[in-house]
Amino acid sequence: TYLMEVEENYFEPEEIPISVVYENEDLVLINKQPFVVVHPTKSYPSGTIGNGLAMRFKQMGINTKIRFINRLDRDTSGLLLIAKNPYAQHVVTEQMKRDEVEKRYLALVHGNVAEDEGTIDAPIGRPDEDRVDRSVMDAGQPSTTHYWVRERFGNATLVEIRLETGRTHQIRVHFRHLGHPLVGDTLYHEASEGIGRQALHAFKLCFRLPRTKEYQCFEASLPEDFERLLSGLRSENSIKI
């Protein structure tokens, strides 16, 4: 006999702000705020998006496991997709494997990116298992990033990015490799006076809804810290980043 998987949620419910972009019986898509970890870990046992979703589900009378379909780093803001059942998780994850899900980001990078658009095709690996940082290396996994320049500020460039592969820290590693590290990225470059984190936001996600198979695109507005940084650059190009 097989035991059915216990579907109960295992995160402690906590009052964490959850900004919902879209929700139906299968999925909830949120605009994750910066500085919040996605799910509990040893270093961050509470105060995570997982805890906030557990509270939301509890208040809605939904007793189900929280299944993250994509992940974002603690300091990256933007679209985070969560399945409410195994079926929805499976269907969308399979779309991802077939490259049918479109993920787009906005990033502010150092320097003037000369080309209006381009593709970074460079394998990413982990040089040291004891460290979290990744780098471009021959033995790494194939990694492809497409980008388009949206705005130039002289000492910084706003780029739109489409990920073809989803390696850990892919955007941060690829743009450092290009000589244009992300503004505020302390792991791969240095801190910024203009923003207290890497200036990276997952702004667009397109996929087919699990039941209707309808292809939909969703967008998430920029958080206040990123918006403020861009406003400062637009008003006076001498702003310290």
Q: Are 106 and 160 in contact (CB under 8 A)?
A: yes
Amino acid at 45: P
State the CB neighbour count (10 A cutoff) for residue 32.
24
Alpha-carbon distance of 200 to 216, in angstroms, equals 23
Question: Which helix or strand (DSSP H or E) is residue 78 part of?
Answer: strand 77-83
User: Pick the catalytic residue: 26, 73, 75, 185?
Assistant: 73
- Sheet strands (E) in 111-168: 117-121, 124-125, 135-136, 144-152, 156-163
State the CB neighbour count (10 A cutoff) for residue 191.
12
DSSP 8-state code for residue 200? E
Write the CA distances from 47 to 36, 69, 222, integer angstroms: 7, 20, 22
Active site (annotated) includes residue 73: yes
- DSSP characters over 17-45: ---EEEE-SSEEEEEEPTT--SS--SS--
Catalytic site positions: 73
